[in-house]
Amino acid sequence: MFSSTQNTIIAVATPLGVGAIAMIRVSGKDAFSITQKIWKSKKNLLTQVPNTLLVGTIIDQENTPIDEVVLSIFHAPHSFTGDNTIEISCHASPYIVQKILTLLVENGAKLAQAGEFTRRAYLNGRVDLAQAEAIADVIASENENAHKIAFQQMRGGFSKQIKKMREDFIKLAGLLELELDFAEEDVEFANRGEIQKQVHQLSQNISDLANSYQLGKVLKNGFPVAIVGKPNAGKSTLLNALLAEDKAIVSPIAGTTRDSIEDETTIKGIKFRFVDTAGLRQTDDIVENIGIARTKEKMQASALILYLFDVSEFTPDVLLKNLLEIEQYNVPILLVANKIDIADKNAIHYFENFEEKYQKQIIFLSAHTQHNLENLQNKLADYVQMQPLHQNQTIITNTRHYACLQDTLKALEQVKKSLDQKFSTEMVATDMREVIYQLGTITGEITNNDLLEFIFTKFCIGK
């Protein structure tokens, strides 16, 4: 449970471990007076100008100096939480950090729960709920794309969109509510056709946002790519080359890989999750057959299939036949001609013709020597960036937001139905209120305590 917002809360905001500096955050109405009690300096903390730095000493009850520190002074409402805040930068000694926390508690501060600072920021109106959730994502972001999406959300891009939609919808609903006030006079302030048009447009927008969730999830967790091909096409060698490590066991014996081996790597700021699969062939080996069945599952779950073949052994006819088999999974396919280091020129030439004829681009490379590996990496990055939803569109990554959007869509469907069936004004108004309610839960204009607890306890302490 979070403590009362009347309390002054404290926590170490920097990671624990060995370093030069640690930062302890003190926030709440008594932040200044509590810190003043363990503070010794020529300068009075209580009369200090906001947004300034103070150098001085933290002392204990016996006036023993504990550390020389720098204080950052933020006055309400111009702080992260919106409350009076002091950030104490001390030496990152475990002893000192613990001692300062203890002294602050002894003088009336409470240790903060995970996410409690951000929760205060939300309660004080410094950020809305979706922004608050994005802060956790910004901190957790490990690559350029994840960061970009989270940062945009933290800045409120997504929230603004939702708020705008909600406000527009409130106006529309307002007209309907007005009709209710004048129910006896049988007037129509809100044109039903106009409402239908707007409900349709909103459904479209909400639906686009909800659809972006799949891509958002993919960009956050890694774009899933299945590496598929006949036994001994060089799939494991390619996986190792892409990961720049020896993850998969490689041998000249066909059928070496039985389990699906998965790992992620970042290419041009995009996180990919590659799955090396068992080679597709008829076999009596039971374990290998389980592997092949799993390969088929993995292909269906992936966003892109890399179909790898040995250019020194394959013919365009065989390739075509195999492609027909793979295409049934309805996943985009990228063709990769491997082993150009040992294939003769004629073989490669055949496939170049194939490329023209079927208008399917083939990437020629050697996974073994890593020749042209970069071409594949560029192609992969380009492919993700070409995704329709990826260009300056809002992408959502948060499961809670996705669920809220789905609920909004359901409510909109109900509005449509009521309008189509010419239900009473009162019933339509009730359905519209549900849409407004659902949109409000995303940014936190509609909220309850359980939800807040659920959201903020997923944060790290000190944020």
Distance CA 414, CA 436 (A): 13
Q: Which of 111, 138, 342, 403 binds a second copy (CB under 8 A)?
A: 138
Q: Which of 86, 109, 135, 162 binds a second copy (CB under 8 A)?
A: 135
Contact between 257 and 276 under an 8 Å Cβ cutoff? The reply is yes
- The window from 93-101, 239-247, 359-367, 423-431 that contacts a second copy (CB under 8 A) reads 93-101
Q: Which of 92, 218, 376, 395 binds a second copy (CB under 8 A)?
A: 92
Number of residues that bind a second copy (CB under 8 A): 54
Q: Which of 41, 107, 111, 144 binds a second copy (CB under 8 A)?
A: 144
Binding status of residue 91 toward a second copy by CB under 8 A: yes
Binding status of residue 141 toward a second copy by CB under 8 A: yes
Binding status of residue 155 toward a second copy by CB under 8 A: yes
Binding status of residue 308 toward a second copy by CB under 8 A: no
Nearer Cβ to a second copy, position 87 or 310?
Answer: 87
Binding status of residue 143 toward a second copy by CB under 8 A: yes
Q: Longest Cα pair distance anywhere in the chain, in angstroms?
A: 88
Residue with the two structure tokens 């970042």 = 266
Amino acid at 389: L
Binding status of residue 462 toward a second copy by CB under 8 A: yes
Binding status of residue 454 toward a second copy by CB under 8 A: no
Binding status of residue 237 toward a second copy by CB under 8 A: no
- The window from 95-103, 119-127, 398-406, 422-430 that contacts a second copy (CB under 8 A) reads 95-103
Binding status of residue 231 toward a second copy by CB under 8 A: no
Binding status of residue 96 toward a second copy by CB under 8 A: yes
Q: Considering just the CA atoms, what is the radius of gyration of the chain in Å? A: 30
Binding status of residue 250 toward a second copy by CB under 8 A: no
Nearer Cβ to a second copy, position 154 or 336?
Answer: 154
- The window from 89-97, 100-108, 179-187, 301-309 that contacts a second copy (CB under 8 A) reads 89-97
Q: Which of 31, 66, 242, 305 binds a second copy (CB under 8 A)?
A: 66
End-to-end alpha carbon distance in the chain: 16
Binding status of residue 127 toward a second copy by CB under 8 A: no
Nearer Cβ to a second copy, position 403 or 461?
Answer: 461
Binding status of residue 19 toward a second copy by CB under 8 A: yes
Binding status of residue 20 toward a second copy by CB under 8 A: yes
- The window from 16-24, 229-237, 291-299, 407-415 that contacts a second copy (CB under 8 A) reads 16-24
Kindly state the smallest distance separating residue 264's Cβ from a second copy, in Å: 14
Binding status of residue 103 toward a second copy by CB under 8 A: no
The verdict on whether omega for the bond into residue 332 sits within 30 degrees of 0, i.e. cis, is no
Distance CA 380, CA 397 (A): 21
Nearer Cβ to a second copy, position 82 or 231?
Answer: 82
- The window from 140-148, 276-284, 317-325, 379-387 that contacts a second copy (CB under 8 A) reads 140-148
Query: 3-class secondary structure for the chain?
Result: CCCCCCCCEEEECCCCCCCCEEEEEEECCCHHHHHHCCEECCCCCCCCCCCEEEEEEEECCCCCEEEEEEEEEECCCCCCCCCCEEEEEEECCHHHHHHHHHHHHHCCCEECCCCHHHHHHHHCCCCCHHHHHHHHHHHHCCCHHHHHHHHHHHCCHHHHHHHHHHHHHHHHHHHHHHHHHCHHHCCCCCCHHHHHHHHHHHHHHHHHHHHHHHHHHHHHHCEEEEEEECCCCCHHHHHHHHHCCCCCCCCCCCCCCCCCEEEEEEECCEEEEEEECCCCCCCCCHHHHHHHHHHHHHHHHCCEEEEEEECCCCCHHHHHHHHHHHHCCCCCEEEEEECCCCCCHHHHHHHHHHHHHHCCCEEECECCCCECHHHHHHHHHHHHHCCHHHCCCCCCCCHHHHHHHHHHHHHHHHHHHHHHCCCCHHHHHHHHHHHHHHHHHHHCCCCCHHHHHHHHCCCCCCC
Nearer Cβ to a second copy, position 138 or 304?
Answer: 138
Give the tokens for residue 279. Answer: 């080679």
Kindly state the smallest distance separating residue 92's Cβ from a second copy, in Å: 6
Q: Which of 9, 23, 104, 365 binds a second copy (CB under 8 A)?
A: 23
Binding status of residue 264 toward a second copy by CB under 8 A: no
In the complex, the residues that contact a second copy under the rule CB under 8 A are 12-23, 25, 51-54, 64-68, 70, 72-74, 87, 89, 91-96, 99, 117, 135, 138-144, 146-148, 151, 154-155, 460-463
